């Protein structure tokens, strides 16, 4: 399956920086109209001006996606304006690095609210209309951290395991509906992620680091090809898939070693 998204409307979360900007640019290049969502208005307005020059329609919706009411208001206001979302890119997310036992709970709770709850809720909010129209694409952003327990990122990696398992199951549930779900698992990507997570990149992370435009391109290509999942970069794919052969206890130890500075 290779579906053009030209003229479709894509909603990209986390579109004020990093991978979200790269997803928005990639989709706009393919002729997609866009709804940009994140908390910071100014960078999204700047991106919107850039993308409008490509001839696509761009809506900007500053929203705190950790807030359930704000998510509902976002979906309801788009529906009221007749903006039908054909493509949902659930990209907004962040990680918290450090020993779980001593990490500030409010940061962990905010992370789970965004990475797990908001992603699930947005999917639930936009899926019914996609199914009714008989067309839709959902692109979920997981991580290579999803493939094994990861000391230092214990809760973040588990949250991304949720995204991975949820998305593959959902794609099977959606068979025959005209709606598909693709999950992209990036490895280390050059964005604001590490500044937010508080981790200094290790030798391994520096070695495997990719640029956001390449990661976004692979994610969009996988979605267009109707694939249910993809890991970006050969080294990332090799590690993500080989770790499945190890007992969990051992793969957790290897991941912990790779996270060490
Ligand atoms: N970079 C990596 O190495 C890497 C690797 C694997 C997976 N990922 C995943 O890739 C996705 C994108 O992250 P990134 O690397 O691009 O990091 P980033 O540069 O820090 O971007 C994160 C985006 O999420 C938005 N965001 C954060 N909290 C939000 C909230 N409460 N409501 C709405 N938007 C919110 C941020 O915008 P505002 O602050 O303006 O709200 C920003 O646009 C995340 O899901 C991350 O887990 C990243």
Per residue in 87-118, pLDDT tens? 999 999 999 999 999 999 999 999 999 999 99
Q: Is residue 2 part of a domain?
A: no
User: Domain containing 174: what range?
Assistant: 9-258
- C-alpha 27/C-alpha 70 separation (Å) is 25
Work out the number of other CB atoms within 10 angstroms of the CB of residue 101: 6
**What's the gap in Å between 30 CA and the centre of ligand 1?**
23
Per residue in 110-134, pLDDT (tens digit) is 999 999 999 999 999 999 999 999 9
Provide the number of structural domains found in the chain. 1
156 catalytic residue (yes or no): yes
Q: Is residue 1 part of a domain?
A: no
Q: Is residue 4 part of a domain?
A: no
Per residue in 180-198, pLDDT (tens digit) is 999 999 999 999 999 999 9
The reported pLDDT for the residue numbered 224 is 97
Flag whether pLDDT at 140 surpasses 80: yes
Q: Is residue 3 part of a domain?
A: no
Q: Which atom of ligand 1 is nearest to the CA of 39?
A: 41
Rounded to the nearest integer, the mean pLDDT of the chain is 96
**What's the gap in Å between 113 CA and the centre of ligand 1?**
13
Q: Which atom of ligand 1 is nearest to the CA of 114?
A: 31
Q: Per-residue pLDDT averaged across 159-164, rounded? A: 98
**What's the gap in Å between 93 CA and the centre of ligand 1?**
4
Q: Is residue 253 part of a domain?
A: yes
H-helix or E-strand spanning residue 112? helix 105-112
Flag whether pLDDT at 2 surpasses 60: no
Helix (H, G, I), strand (E, B) or coil at 77: helix
Place of tokens 């997570």: 197
Report field, pTM of the whole predicted structure over 0.75: yes
Contact 161, 153 (CB under 8 A): no
The CB of 183 under 6 Å from ligand 1? The reply is no
Any idea what the CATH number is for the domain that residue 216 is in? 3.40.50.720
The reported pLDDT for the residue numbered 204 is 82
């Amino acid at each position: 399956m290779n579906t053009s998204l030209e003229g479709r409307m894509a909603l990209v979360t986390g579109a004020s920086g990093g991978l979200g900007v790269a997803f928005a640019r990639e989709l706009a290049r393919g002729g997609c109209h866009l709804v940009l969502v994140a908390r910071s208005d100014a960078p999204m307005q700047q991106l919107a001006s850039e993308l409008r020059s490509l001839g696509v329609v761009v809506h900007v919706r500053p929203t705190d996606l950790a807030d359930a009411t704000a998510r509902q208001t976002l979906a309801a206001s788009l529906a009221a304006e007749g903006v039908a979302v054909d493509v949902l890119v659930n990209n907004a997310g962040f990680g918290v690095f450090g020993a779980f036992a001593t990490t500030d709970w409010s940061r962990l709770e905010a992370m789970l609210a965004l990475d797990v709850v908001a992603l699930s809720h947005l999917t639930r909010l936009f899926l019914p209309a996609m199914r009714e129209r008989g067309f839709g694409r959902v692109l979920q952003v997981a991580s290579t951290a999803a493939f094994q327990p990861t000391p230092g990122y214990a809760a973040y990696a588990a949250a991304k395991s949720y995204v991975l398992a949820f998305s593959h199951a959902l794609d099977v549930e959606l068979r025959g509906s005209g709606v598909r779900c693709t999950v992209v698992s990036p490895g280390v990507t050059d964005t604001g992620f590490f500044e937010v997570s508080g981790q200094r990149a290790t030798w391994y992370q520096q070695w495997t680091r990719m640029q956001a435009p390449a990661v976004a391109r692979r994610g969009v290509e996988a979605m267009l090809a109707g694939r249910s999942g993809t890991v970006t970069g050969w080294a990332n794919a090799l590690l993500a898939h080989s770790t499945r052969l190890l007992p969990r206890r051992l793969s957790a130890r290897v991941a912990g070693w790779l996270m060490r500075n």
